[in-house]
Amino acid sequence: METVSELAEMVLQLLKKKNMHVTFVESCTGGMLASSLVSISGASAVMEQAMVTYSNEAKKRLAGVKESTLEQYGAVSSQTAMEMAEGGAKRAECELCVSVTGVAGPGMEEDKPVGLVFLGIFFLGNVRAVECHFLGNRQEIREAAVKKAFELIMEELKEMEEKK
């Protein structure tokens, strides 16, 4: 089982090989995803930009999340995660964008349990969200979300490879 830094290294190498770029739109991880990638030498070849959109206002302003989405589904939802990912990709003019929104705790938000995290992934025009339920303290939940985000990127890149 790979560590976050090993997964980040694998993602970096695959993106370089495919001459692709990535951007991140993060909420509960607060920049951990971007930080994990840029900790590796050579990240500038693939890292386009990153946004920490912790507040709903930032999600709307920076990532283009619709007010109606936030009102109807809340910040912690698959719908918001997908809009964050798609908006981030469009603003960065990037092939790949991963978003993270969730409840890291210790308190519940919007009647949603601690550990509930949605990851959005926009890749080559397609967008989807993955619902995750992580256990642990605030830091462990955030780290688990980062690891899962890198695993999703690997899945997308491998799936693309298989379609060739």
| Cα distance between residue 58 and residue 99, in whole Å | 13
Determine, yes or no, domain membership for 29: yes
Note down the domain range covering 103: 4-9+20-158
Determine, yes or no, domain membership for 134: yes
Asked if pLDDT for residue 131 goes beyond 80, the answer is yes
Query: Into how many domains does the chain fold?
Result: 1
CATH number of the domain that residue 26 is part of: 3.90.950.20
Per-residue pLDDT band for 110 (boundaries 50, 70, 90) equals low
- Write out pLDDT tens, residues 60-108: 999 999 999 999 999 999 999 999 999 999 999 999 999 999 999 988 7
Contact 156, 95 (CB under 8 A): no
Determine, yes or no, domain membership for 132: yes
Determine, yes or no, domain membership for 146: yes
Q: What is the pTM of this model?
A: 0.95
Determine, yes or no, domain membership for 163: no
Asked if pLDDT for residue 164 goes beyond 70, the answer is no
Determine, yes or no, domain membership for 14: no
Determine, yes or no, domain membership for 164: no
Determine, yes or no, domain membership for 109: yes
Query: CB atoms < 10 A from the CB of 47, how many?
Result: 20
The size of the chain, in residues, is: 164
Mean pLDDT computed over every residue of the chain: 95
The angle formed by the CA atoms of residues 67, 69 and 75, to the nearest 5 degrees, is 90
